[in-house]
A = this chain, B = another copy of it.
Amino acid sequence: MAKVTPIEGYEERVRASFVRQNAMKTIGASLTKVGPGLIEIELPFSDALTQQHGFLHAGVVSMALDSACGYAALTLMPANTGVLSIEFKVNLLAAAKGERFLFRATVTKSGRTIIVTDGQAFASQPDAEPRLIATMTATMMAVAGRPGVQD
Contacts and interface: CB of A to CB of B under 8 A. Distances in A.
Contacts of A22: 47-51, 57
A53 B149 CA distance: 9
Given A26-B26, A135-B116, A57 B63 contact: yes
Q: How many copies does the complex hold?
A: 4
A32 interface: no
A7 interface: no
B89 A89 contact: yes
Question: Size range of the interface on A?
Answer: 35 or more
B113 A113 contact: yes
Contacts of A93: 108-109, 111, 116
Given A88-B89, A132-B109, A59 B53 contact: no
Given A57-B151, A59-B62, A67-B59, A86 B51 contact: no
Interface in A44-99: 47-53, 55, 57-60, 62-64, 66-67, 84-95
List the 6 closest A-B pairs by CB distance, nearest first.
A59-B63, A20-B52, A23-B57, A51-B151, A89-B89, A58-B151
